[in-house]
């Protein structure tokens, strides 16, 4: 069996966050979620690349955003993964 041992996990290098360039390479949009009111949207990445650059980490983009519904500055950002006919994971 290929089970992980605690010592194996501790030796693993941390993963780098996905960047705007990664989204561009995979032709993905940016998914944004307001942690205050739940408003969400998928946005094109070109304006973000122009402003922030290709190597900007996707999880950090939310720090520069404001919800258009409630004006909160509490936005989570991630890749807009393709839909597969159902909900794969729930944002909480």
Q: What whole-number distance in Å separates Cα of residue 21 and Cα of residue 9?
A: 28
Q: What whole-number distance in Å separates Cα of residue 69 and Cα of residue 53?
A: 27
The CATH number of domain 17-79, selected from 1.10.8, 2.60.40, 2.20.28, 3.40.50: 2.20.28
Sequence ranges of the domains in the chain: 17-79
CA torsion 28-67-90-21 (nearest 10°) is 20
Q: Please state the pTM of the whole predicted model.
A: 0.75
Q: How far apart are the first and last CA of the chain?
A: 33
What's the mean per-residue pLDDT of the chain? 86
Task: Encode pLDDT of 17-38 as tens digits.
Answer: 999 999 999 999 999 999 999 9
**If you count DSSP H runs as helices and E runs as strands, how many of each does the chain have, helices first?**
3, 3
**Range scoring the smallest mean pLDDT among 7-21, 25-39, 45-59, 67-81:** 7-21
């Amino acid at each position: 069996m290929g089970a992980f041992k605690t010592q194996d996990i501790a030796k693993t290098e941390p993963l780098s966050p996905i960047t705007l360039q990664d989204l561009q390479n995979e032709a993905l949009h940016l998914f944004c979620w307001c942690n205050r009111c739940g408003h969400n949207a998928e946005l094109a990445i070109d304006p973000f690349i122009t402003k922030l650059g290709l190597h900007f980490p996707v999880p950090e983009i939310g720090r520069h955003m404001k919800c258009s519904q409630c004006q909160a500055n509490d936005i989570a950002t991630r890749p807009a993964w393709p839909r597969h006919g159902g909900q794969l994971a729930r944002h909480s």
